[in-house]
């Protein structure tokens, strides 16, 4: 089903519109308002930055239900009031998240083996090699150093490019184009131009894999086009998925995680000295880190009722994973980072047909990242007198710089 533009219906008095909750500047969240909303208005109407309203769900049980509800779909990146003419003549950034039904299922099945726990386990030596190479270059740059520029940003990108078959040497070209394509404030004309560029880039990659196959996921998918299992449009959706969110979220998450641990030196030391804690610690970090403060946007294809609110067809719904993962009715002492937490049914990777296919890879990147950092720099700590710079313009909070010494 093709999504419609989000509803701009004026809500009745029973649905007072709140300002979109945001963490204070210089923090990663989740927004303090979430705890109040969970208690008093677990499904509340909020005003989004793009001149539209949405239902903001903060309670664990509601979020868990919404992210697996087949009546809610993801509108494409271009289906927003700030870009009203994209639907007329501009190509859409359709990723795996927006695919539904048989096409989505076929594509997930096609890439499942490459992202399975076994495949990721087999790639661990290569992932570690990439991390160690980056940190060797980082160390050679001298103290203090910016860990974001030197490690947490390039590491997930290198891992993803290596696995998927995207030439990492192209990053100086495609990273600025991606930033422009995903900018909420981009004009329609500029949006169409950069979307065209991304489509052309992925189409060229597909053509290259046909003529020069490699040991990568894009080659695997191109071969499945030849037997009719997939289409070029399916491979395009996968390629755009990897470019738009495949490495970006992992980079944000790794930076947030390392920052949080370094601000708790006793916890950093525990993980450094007791590697047996790592599996449970990784799950707790996934629960605690609020990378997805409110970036999962869904749209109702029919009227539904959630948390005592009537959500109409066309309404946008935001299940706030970061808030759900701090719900005290599910997690004991939910606001505290507990690296030994045993019962941890977090929702960091979503749920249902669109749960994150890269979950095993994300866990591996986090595990290897922390282990290699603590192996090479056992005395890693924040640099004296230097504070991180924060990305305060986005709901996906993350430090833009992370000054450290060792």
pLDDT, position 294: 66
Give residue for tokens 């924060």: 390
The DSSP secondary-structure symbol of 390 reads B
Residue 333, Cα to own-chain centre: how many angstroms? 25
79-89 per-position pLDDT tens digit: 544 444 444 44
pLDDT, position 85: 41
pLDDT, position 163: 97
Question: For residues 165 and 188, what is the distance between their CA atoms, to the nearest angstrom?
Answer: 30
What phi, psi does 82 have (nearest 5°)?
Answer: -70, -10
The sheet carrying 18-19 orders its strands as 18-19, 43-47, 53-57, 316-319, 298-300, 72-73
pLDDT, position 257: 96
For residue 120, what are the contacts with CB-CB under 8 A and spacing of at least 6?
A: 360, 361, 363, 364
Name residues of the chain where pLDDT drops below 70.
Answer: 1-15, 76-92, 183-186, 294, 395
Tell whether the torsion through CA atoms of 395, 75, 235 and 207 is positive or negative: negative
* CB contact at 8 A, 368 and 315: no
pLDDT, position 396: 72
Question: For residues 30 and 23, what is the distance between their CA atoms, to the nearest angstrom?
Answer: 6
Cα 71 to Cα 7, 105, 254, 299, 312, distances in angstroms: 16, 17, 32, 8, 11
| DSSP β-ladder status, 18-19 and 381-382 | unpaired
3-state secondary structure of 170: helix
Question: For residues 23 and 256, what is the distance between their CA atoms, to the nearest angstrom?
Answer: 14
pLDDT, position 76: 62
Domain boundaries, the chain: 18-405
* pTM exceeds 0.95 for this model: no
Question: For residues 320 and 42, what is the distance between their CA atoms, to the nearest angstrom?
Answer: 10
pLDDT, position 227: 87
The sheet carrying 403-405 orders its strands as 145-146, 403-405, 381-382
Architecture of the domain spanning 18-405: Orthogonal Bundle (1.10)
For residue 333, what are the contacts with CB-CB under 8 A and spacing of at least 6?
A: none
């Amino acid at each position: 089903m093709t999504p419609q533009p989000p509803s701009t219906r004026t809500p009745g008095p029973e649905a007072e519109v709140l300002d979109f909750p945001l963490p204070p500047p210089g923090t990663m969240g989740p927004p303090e308002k979430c705890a109040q909303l969970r208690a008093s208005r677990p499904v509340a109407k909020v005003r989004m930055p793009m001149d539209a309203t949405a239902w903001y769900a903060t309670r664990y049980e509601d979020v868990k239900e919404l992210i697996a509800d087949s009546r809610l779909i993801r509108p494409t990146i271009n289906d927003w009031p700030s870009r009203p003419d994209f639907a007329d003549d501009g190509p859409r950034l359709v990723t795996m998240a927006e695919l539904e039904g048989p096409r989505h299922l076929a594509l997930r099945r096609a890439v499942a083996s490459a992202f399975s726990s076994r495949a990721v386990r087999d790639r661990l030596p290569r992932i570690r090699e990439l991390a160690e190479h980056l940190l060797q270059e980082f160390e050679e740059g001298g103290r203090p150093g910016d860990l974001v520029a030197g490690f947490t940003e390039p590491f997930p990108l290198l891992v993803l490019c290596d696995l998927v078959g995207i030439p990492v040497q192209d990053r100086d070209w495609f990273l600025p184009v991606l930033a422009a394509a995903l900018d909420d404030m981009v004009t329609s004309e500029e949006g169409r131009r950069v979307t065209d560029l991304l489509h052309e880039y992925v189409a060229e990659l597909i053509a290259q894999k046909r003529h020069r196959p490699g040991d990568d996921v894009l080659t695997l998918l191109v071969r499945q086009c030849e037997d009719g299992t997939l289409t070029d449009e399916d491979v395009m959706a996968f390629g755009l998925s990897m470019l738009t969110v495949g490495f970006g979220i992992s980079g944000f998450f790794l930076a947030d995680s390392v920052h949080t641990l370094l601000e708790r030196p006793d916890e950093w030391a525990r993980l450094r000295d007791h590697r047996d804690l790592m599996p449970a610690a990784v799950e707790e970090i996934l629960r605690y880190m609020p990378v997805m403060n409110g970036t999962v946007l869904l749209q109702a294809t029919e009227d539904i009722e959630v948390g005592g609110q009537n959500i109409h067809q066309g309404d946008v719904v935001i299940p706030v994973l970061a808030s759900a993962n701090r719900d005290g009715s599910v997690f004991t002492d939910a606001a505290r980072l507990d690296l030994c937490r045993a019962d941890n049914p977090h929702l960091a990777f979503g749920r249902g047909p669109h749960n994150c296919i890269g979950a095993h890879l994300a866990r591996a990147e986090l595990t290897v990242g922390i282990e290699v950092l603590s192996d090479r720099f056992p005395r890693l700590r924040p640099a004296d007198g230097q504070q991180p710079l924060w990305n305060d313009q986005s709901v996906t909070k993350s430090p833009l710089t992370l000054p450290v010494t060792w």
